[in-house]
């Protein structure tokens, strides 16, 4: 893809994300995504995270396969989930499900540190190498079971889960700071899933809201 066509594809993707945000706004409460999040989406080169055979599809607003029966998420969903955790510059964030490393790269430009957990070894290694090669040094990738979170880095200002779980793993709730935000797809592998936003108040009380129907690969481990 030529630089001109690539720039056009990026602008078209950003326009599509904005349109999807407006369409889903009544459900998500986010008819407009923050400028910081949209800038991160514009800056992170999604084509680096997809297979060479899929380069022509890299800037479409669609999930794509990355091997091992996993996918790189639809960009709108990446942008929405990022916006829902309300990332702040000094935050420490846990990502569960590194996959290709794309979501971690988006987060890296918005927060101080990202701890990312991936249960599939080859994906964890490739993502870590890719992120380092891109000069992204505030993401640490761990080959581990995401149900357990990453206790060594806890507590977290925000947690973002990129695979669906039938219930919210208790370890993730335990590792979320008071005042923190957690976004996770909840539901069975082949059944109805919903994107859920969890907030923990300063006293440690948890509230949750089901926002949007989604379809994610299962959280395994």
Structure confidence by residue, pLDDT tens digits, 89-118: 999 999 999 999 999 999 999 999 999 999
pLDDT at 97: 97
What is the Cα–Cα distance from 126 to 143, expressed in whole angstroms? 11
- What CATH homologous superfamily does 3-214 map to? Vaccinia Virus protein VP39 (3.40.50.150)
Given 73, 100, 116, 165, which residue is catalytic? 73
pLDDT at 189: 81
CA 16, chain centre distance (Å): 18
Average pLDDT, the chain: 95
Query: Against a cut of 0.85, is the pTM above it?
Result: yes
pLDDT for 154 beyond 90: yes
Query: Does the annotation mark 165 as catalytic?
Result: no
**What separation in angstroms does the CA of 164 have from each of 6, 69, 178, 187, 196?**
32, 14, 24, 6, 10
What is the Cα–Cα distance from 118 to 141, expressed in whole angstroms? 7
pLDDT for 54 beyond 70: yes
pLDDT at 205: 94
Q: Rounded to 5 degrees, what angle do the CA atoms 169, 69, 165 make?
A: 15
Instruction: Write down the domain spans for the chain.
Output: 3-214
DSSP state of 99: T
- Strand stretches in 64-218, DSSP E: 64-67, 70-72, 92-96, 113-118, 139-143, 156-161, 176-186, 193-200, 206-214
Q: Is 79 exposed, middle or buried (0-12, 13-18, 19+ CB in 10 A)?
A: buried
């Amino acid at each position: 893809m030529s630089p001109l066509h690539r720039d056009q594809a990026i602008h078209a993707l950003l326009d599509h994300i904005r349109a999807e945000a407006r369409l889903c706004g009544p459900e998500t409460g986010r008819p407009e995504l923050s400028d910081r999040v949209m800038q991160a989406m514009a800056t992170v080169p999604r084509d680096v995270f997809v297979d060479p055979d899929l380069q022509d599809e890299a800037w479409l607003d669609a999930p794509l396969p990355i091997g091992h029966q996993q996918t790189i998420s639809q960009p709108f969903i990446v942008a929405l989930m990022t916006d829902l955790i309300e990332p702040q510059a000094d935050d420490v964030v846990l990502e569960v499900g590194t996959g290709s490393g794309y979501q971690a790269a988006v987060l890296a430009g918005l927060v101080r540190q990202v701890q990312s957990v991936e249960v599939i070894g080859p994906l964890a290694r490739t993502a870590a190498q890719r992120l380092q090669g891109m000069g992204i040094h505030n993401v640490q990738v761990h080959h581990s079971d995401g149900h357990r979170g990453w206790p060594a880095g806890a507590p977290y200002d925000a947690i973002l889960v990129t695979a669906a779980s039938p219930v919210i793993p208790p370890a993730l709730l335990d590792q979320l700071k008071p005042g923190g935000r957690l976004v996770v797809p909840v539901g069975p592998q082949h059944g109805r899933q919903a994107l859920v936003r969890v907030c923990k108040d300063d006293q440690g009380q948890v509230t949750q809201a089901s926002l949007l129907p989604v379809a994610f690969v299962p959280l395994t481990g």
